[in-house]
Chains A and B, each alone.
Chain A
Amino acid sequence: MLVIRGGRILTAAAPGSDVPDVIDGGVLLVEGGKIVAVGGPELPVPDGADIIDASGCVVTPGFIDAHSHIGIYEDGLGWEGTDANECTDPNTAEARALDGINPADTAFAEALEGGVTTVQVGPGSGNVIGGEMLAIKCVGTIADEMVLRHATGLKAALGENPKRVYGSQNKSPATRMGNAAVLRSALAKARDYRRKMEAAAESPDKQPDRDLRQEMIVKVLRREMPLRVHAHRADDILTAIRIAEEFEIDISIEHCTEGHKVVETLAAKGIPCAIGPSVYGRSKQETRDRGAHTAGVLAKAGVKVALICDHPIIPQQWLRIAGGVAIREGLSDEDALLACTRNAAEMTGILDRVGTLEPGKDADLVIWDGDPFEYLSKTRCVLVNGTVVRCLCGTPCRSSSGQGGCC
C-alpha cells in the first residue's frame, strides 16, 4: 500500500462523482497499481503503508495528450527517426502507429518529467487517411506493453499537408476538393467492403479477400473508433463535419486552429476538439490565425476541449505550458486541467482507466511543487500504474519496498 498524503488533490472528477474535484490536505491510497481510495485528511492510513508526503504540493492525474507523435518522430535523430508519415499513398489506413513507436525515444523520459503519463499517438497529416492511432503510457521498453488501448481512432487530414505532399508530385489530391474526394471515396469503398463482409456472413462463398485497409476503415463506419481529422482552417473543419454526417461516423477535430470562427457549429453538433499546438508561430497559411485563445472560446461555448502538443511540434513535456498560456488567454483553470486530463481521456476512449483520481482508476498521478501550469513549477514525483517513475532527483528513487529515495 502506498499513500500520498497532505497535498491539494485536484481529482478532475466529474460532477456527481463520489470524489470531490478539489481536496485540501487530501489522502490517496494506491494498491496493485490502482487508486483504491481518495479522501480528505480524515481518511485512515493503513499501518505499514509507504507514505509520500505531498504537503505544500498539488496532486493531479497524470497529464494526457490526445494528439502526439512521440516515439514515431524521434528526438534528436532527424530523418532516421522520422516514421510518422507513410507518404506513398494518400490512403494508408492499414498503417498502425504501434509499428513505428520506438520506446527508446528520449522524449518519453522528458514527457514524464513534465507530468505527461499517457498519450494518444497517431500518424502524421501527410496522407488524407494516415492510419491507426493508439493510446500508450509513457513508460516501458516494449511498445506492446505500453499500450492502454489499441485503435483509439483513425487519423485523417484535410487542408494544406496532403495536397502539398501529393500535389507536388502531380498526383491526387492536389486541392482541398481532392482531399475531400479521396476521403469520401475511401469511406464509400469501405462501405462496399462492409456490405460484402456482411453478405458473406450468410453465404461464406461470398467472403471478400482480406483487405487490411478496408477493415480499418470499416471500424470507423461501425463507430468502433472515430475518424480524427486534422483541420486547421474553418472551411476544413466544416468539410470534416460534412463528410462525417454523410457517412454517419464519429469524428474529432484535430488542431482546430480556427475553431473559434465556427464555435457555434462545433458546440451545436457536440464535436470534441483537440486544440493545438498553440504555443507556436504562424508557420503556414492555414495557421495564420493561430492563437492561444481558441481553447477558452470553445470551452466557454460548451465544446469538449483537449489541449495538445502535437509532439514534436511542441515537445511533449510542455503540455502544462500549453495549458498555462491558454489560461492566460481566457481558458479557466478548471477547464485547463480537464483539457489535460479527463477530457483528453474521454476523447481518447480511455476514461475507464485514466484521466481522473478516483477509486478503480490506474494510479497515474503527478505531485507538483506548485501550480502545474506555472513556468517555474516542477513535477516532484510522477507515478504510473502505482510505481514511482520519476521524481525530483531525476531518477526513479523508490525501492521495491518503498524505502529510501527523496520522496
Chain B
Amino acid sequence: MLLAIKGATIMPVSSNPVAEATLLVENGKVKALGPSSKLAVPAEATVIDATGKYVLPGLVDAHAHVGLWSEHYGQANADGNEGSNPLTPEVRALDAVWLEHSSFADARAGGVTTLQTTPGSGNAIGGEMLVIKTDTVGKMVEDIVLRTPSGMKAALGENVKRYYGQSLKKAPMTRMGTAALIRQAFYKALDYQRKLEIGQADPAKQPDTDLGLIELLRVLRREMPLRIHAHRADDIVTAVRLAEEFDIDYSIEHCTDGVAVADFLGSRGARVNLGPTFGHRSKIETRALHFRNAALLAEAGCKVSIITDHPFVSIDYLILCAALSCAEGMPEDQALRAITLTPAETCGVADRVGSLDPGKDADFVIWSAHPFKIRSRPEQVFIEGRLVHKAE
C-alpha cells in the first residue's frame, strides 16, 4: 500500500519545511519526502492532492487525561484519581482508558495522534501512565499502546494536601507531608530491593509481592521517569530535590511558575511539560500562568513540551496553545516542536512518532493552511497511513 501526498508545504519538524513537496507513505511508515520536482511518485501509488496545504506530523500531547476523566459522562467515567490512598504506585492508567470516550474523537479532529494519558494529581504518587495513539475505533487499548508504562505520576502542591489534609483530615496535610510520603515510599522500595536480593540467595526469605514497590523500583532503575506535578517554583525545586536524592529520571508537569527558577531548571536541561495555559488561574499555585513562559523556559535550556492537560484545555486545542506560545515569543519552529518531537522524546517514543522522517510511523495531518493561522483546520488526519479523521 503506497500513498503519496503531493503539492503541500511539508513541515517535518526534524528538518526545515519543504515547499511544493511530496510525502510517500508505505505500509504505514514514512518512506520518503522531498520536493515534488525531485521525488518520483510510483505509478501504483494512491495520490492525494494537497496543493497549497500544510502537512505536519501528527501532534503529540505529553500530558493529558484523555479516556480517563468524567467530563460529560459524570461519575460513571471518573477514573482519573484513585483517591483511596495518597500512595498508589500500583495502579495503571492502562486499566482505565475507555476507548469510546469522546475525547479521542476530539483528539483526532484536532490533529493529535499520540498522547500520554495519565492519572491525576490527587495522590502524592498516582500510578502508571502510558503513551497511546488516538485511532481507537474498533480497537482494544493494547492495540494502540506505544509505550506502557511510560512514567509514574507524582504530585506536589495544593491538590494532594487539599484532598487528604483539608477534606479527609489525613496525611498529607502540608507540602512537607507530601514530600515526606514520596521520600518514604522510595526508601521503602530500596528496602524492598534489598529484601528481594536476600530472597534470591535464600528463597525462604523471599518478601511478599508488593505491586506498588515493584513499580517504584522500576523508577529507581530508570526504566521510567517520575513525572511530577508541580506548579509553584518551590514545588518545582522540591521535585528536583527528590529526583536527585534518588538519582531518578524525571519531568516537571505543569511547571507554571518555572520561570522563577528557569536557570535552575535550564542548567539541568530539565524536561518540562508546560500547561495548561489557555485557562484561568484557578488557584494560588497557578498565579504565574502565562503563554510567555514557554519561550522563557526554552531560552533557559529546558526541553519544553506544550500540553493541554485535557480536559483542562480540550485536547483539540493543542495547536492553539502552541500558536499563542508563539505569539508570546517562542519561535515558530520551537513552538511546533513543542507539540510534536519534543513531547515524543519526553515520552520515550521519538523512534516512532513526532517528526516526518523515513522509517517513522506515517502519522500526519493535512492542514488547510499554516497551522498557526486560526482559520486553518486539520482537514485529514492519518495514523500509520490510515485516514482516521476527515473534516466535514
Measured CB to CB, the residues of A under 8 A from B are 73, 75-78, 107, 279-288, 311-315, 318, 321, 324-325, 327-328, 373-378
Q: A77-B284, A282-B102 are in contact. Are A315 and B279 (CB under 8 A)?
A: yes
Complexed CA–CA distance, A324 and B372 (Å): 12
Q: How far does the Cβ of B262 sit from chain A's closest Cβ, in whole Å? A: 20
Q: Which residues of B contact A279 (CB under 8 A)?
A: 278, 314, 317, 320
| Cβ A312 vs Cβ B282 within 8 A | yes
Q: Which residues of A contact B282 (CB under 8 A)?
A: 78, 312
9 nearest interchain CB pairs?
A312-B280, A281-B314, A324-B374, A288-B72, A375-B323, A76-B287, A76-B281, A281-B311, A78-B283
| Cβ B74 vs Cβ A327 within 8 A | no
Given A281-B103, A377-B327, 6 new contacts (CB under 8 A): A78-B283, A282-B102, A282-B106, A286-B72, A312-B282, A373-B374
| Cβ A374 vs Cβ B311 within 8 A | no
What are 28 A-B pairs with beta-carbon distances under 8 A? A73-B280, A75-B281, A76-B286, A279-B320, A280-B314, A282-B72, A283-B72, A283-B311, A285-B74, A288-B72, A312-B280, A312-B282, A314-B278, A314-B279, A315-B280, A321-B324, A324-B375, A325-B374, A328-B376, A328-B377, A374-B373, A374-B374, A375-B320, A375-B323, A375-B324, A375-B373, A376-B323, A376-B327
Is B337 close to A, CB under 8 A?
no
Is B326 close to A, CB under 8 A?
yes
Complexed CA–CA distance, A324 and B323 (Å): 13
Q: Which residues of A contact B310 (CB under 8 A)?
A: 281
Q: How far does the Cβ of A254 sit from chain B's closest Cβ, in whole Å? A: 18
Complexed CA–CA distance, A68 and B72 (Å): 23
Complexed CA–CA distance, A282 and B102 (Å): 9
Q: Classify chain B's interface size.
A: 20 to 34
Minimal Cβ-Cβ distance residue in B for A378 = B327
Most chain B CB atoms below 10 A, which of A75, A284, A376, A377: A376
Minimal Cβ-Cβ distance residue in A for B392 = A293
Q: Which residues of A contact B299 (CB under 8 A)?
A: none
Q: Which residues of B contact A283 (CB under 8 A)?
A: 71-72, 311
Q: Which residues of A contact B372 (CB under 8 A)?
A: 375-376
Q: Which residues of B contact A313 (CB under 8 A)?
A: 280
Q: A76-B287, A77-B284, A280-B314 are in contact. Are A327 and B72 (CB under 8 A)?
A: no
| Cβ A282 vs Cβ B373 within 8 A | no
Q: How far does the Cβ of A375 sit from chain B's closest Cβ, in whole Å? A: 4
Q: Which residues of B contact A377 (CB under 8 A)?
A: 327
Q: How far does the Cβ of B289 sit from chain A's closest Cβ, in whole Å? A: 8
Q: Which residues of B contact A107 (CB under 8 A)?
A: 280
Complexed CA–CA distance, A280 and B315 (Å): 9
Q: How far does the Cβ of A106 sit from chain B's closest Cβ, in whole Å? A: 8
Q: How far does the Cβ of A76 sit from chain B's closest Cβ, in whole Å? A: 4
Q: How far does the Cβ of A224 sit from chain B's closest Cβ, in whole Å? A: 33
Minimal Cβ-Cβ distance residue in B for A110 = B290
Q: Which residues of B contact A373 (CB under 8 A)?
A: 374
Q: Which residues of A contact B106 (CB under 8 A)?
A: 281-282
Q: Which residues of B contact A280 (CB under 8 A)?
A: 314
Complexed CA–CA distance, A287 and B70 (Å): 13
| Cβ B374 vs Cβ A321 within 8 A | yes
**Residues in B320-371 with C-beta less than 8 Å from chain A:** 320, 323-324, 326-327
Complexed CA–CA distance, A282 and B70 (Å): 10
Minimal Cβ-Cβ distance residue in A for B287 = A76
Q: How far does the Cβ of A114 sit from chain B's closest Cβ, in whole Å? A: 11
Minimal Cβ-Cβ distance residue in A for B316 = A281
Q: How far does the Cβ of A108 sit from chain B's closest Cβ, in whole Å? A: 13
Minimal Cβ-Cβ distance residue in A for B310 = A281
Minimal Cβ-Cβ distance residue in B for A69 = B280
Minimal Cβ-Cβ distance residue in B for A333 = B375
Q: A375-B324, A375-B373, A376-B372 are in contact. Are A78 and B284 (CB under 8 A)?
A: yes
Q: Which residues of A contact B323 (CB under 8 A)?
A: 375-376
Complexed CA–CA distance, A283 and B74 (Å): 9
Minimal Cβ-Cβ distance residue in B for A309 = B280
Complexed CA–CA distance, A285 and B74 (Å): 7
Complexed CA–CA distance, A107 and B289 (Å): 12
Complexed CA–CA distance, A73 and B280 (Å): 10
Given A76, A284, A328, A375, which contacts B72 in the complex, CB threshold below 8 Å?
A284
Q: Which residues of B contact A284 (CB under 8 A)?
A: 71-72, 74
Q: Which residues of B contact A78 (CB under 8 A)?
A: 282-284
Q: How far does the Cβ of A144 sit from chain B's closest Cβ, in whole Å? A: 25
| Cβ B320 vs Cβ A321 within 8 A | yes
| Cβ A311 vs Cβ B72 within 8 A | no
Q: Which residues of B contact A311 (CB under 8 A)?
A: 280
Q: Which residues of A contact B102 (CB under 8 A)?
A: 282, 288
| Cβ B72 vs Cβ A285 within 8 A | yes
Q: How far does the Cβ of B39 sit from chain A's closest Cβ, in whole Å? A: 31
Complexed CA–CA distance, A311 and B279 (Å): 9
The 0/1 profile, CB within 8 Å of A marked 1, for residues 274-305 of chain B is 00001111111011000000000000000000
| Cβ B374 vs Cβ A281 within 8 A | no
Complexed CA–CA distance, A312 and B286 (Å): 14
Q: Which residues of B contact A324 (CB under 8 A)?
A: 374-375
Given B71, B74, B281, B374, which contacts A328 in the complex, CB threshold below 8 Å?
B374
Complexed CA–CA distance, A328 and B73 (Å): 28
Minimal Cβ-Cβ distance residue in B for A78 = B283
The 0/1 profile, CB within 8 Å of A marked 1, for residues 89-119 of chain B is 0000000000000110010000000000000
Complexed CA–CA distance, A238 and B278 (Å): 32
Given B284, B311, B324, B375, which contacts A76 in the complex, CB threshold below 8 Å?
B284
Q: A281-B310, A321-B320, A327-B375 are in contact. Are A375 and B327 (CB under 8 A)?
A: yes
Complexed CA–CA distance, A323 and B261 (Å): 35
Complexed CA–CA distance, A103 and B286 (Å): 20
Q: Which residues of A contact B283 (CB under 8 A)?
A: 76-78
Q: Which residues of A contact B320 (CB under 8 A)?
A: 279, 321, 325, 375
Minimal Cβ-Cβ distance residue in B for A311 = B280
Minimal Cβ-Cβ distance residue in A for B326 = A376
Minimal Cβ-Cβ distance residue in B for A279 = B317
Complexed CA–CA distance, A349 and B103 (Å): 39
Minimal Cβ-Cβ distance residue in A for B327 = A376
Q: How far does the Cβ of B320 sit from chain A's closest Cβ, in whole Å? A: 7
Q: Which residues of A contact B376 (CB under 8 A)?
A: 328
Q: How far does the Cβ of A102 sit from chain B's closest Cβ, in whole Å? A: 14
Minimal Cβ-Cβ distance residue in A for B324 = A375
Q: Which residues of A contact B103 (CB under 8 A)?
A: 281
| Cβ B71 vs Cβ A282 within 8 A | yes
Minimal Cβ-Cβ distance residue in B for A324 = B374
Complexed CA–CA distance, A281 and B313 (Å): 7
Q: Which residues of B contact A312 (CB under 8 A)?
A: 279-280, 282
Q: How far does the Cβ of A86 sit from chain B's closest Cβ, in whole Å? A: 20
Complexed CA–CA distance, A378 and B311 (Å): 27
Complexed CA–CA distance, A282 and B103 (Å): 9
Minimal Cβ-Cβ distance residue in B for A77 = B284
Q: Which residues of B contact A282 (CB under 8 A)?
A: 71-72, 102, 106, 311, 314
Q: How far does the Cβ of B177 sit from chain A's closest Cβ, in whole Å? A: 20
Q: How far does the Cβ of B113 sit from chain A's closest Cβ, in whole Å? A: 19
Q: Which residues of A contact B281 (CB under 8 A)?
A: 75-76
Q: Which residues of A contact B280 (CB under 8 A)?
A: 73, 75, 107, 311-313, 315
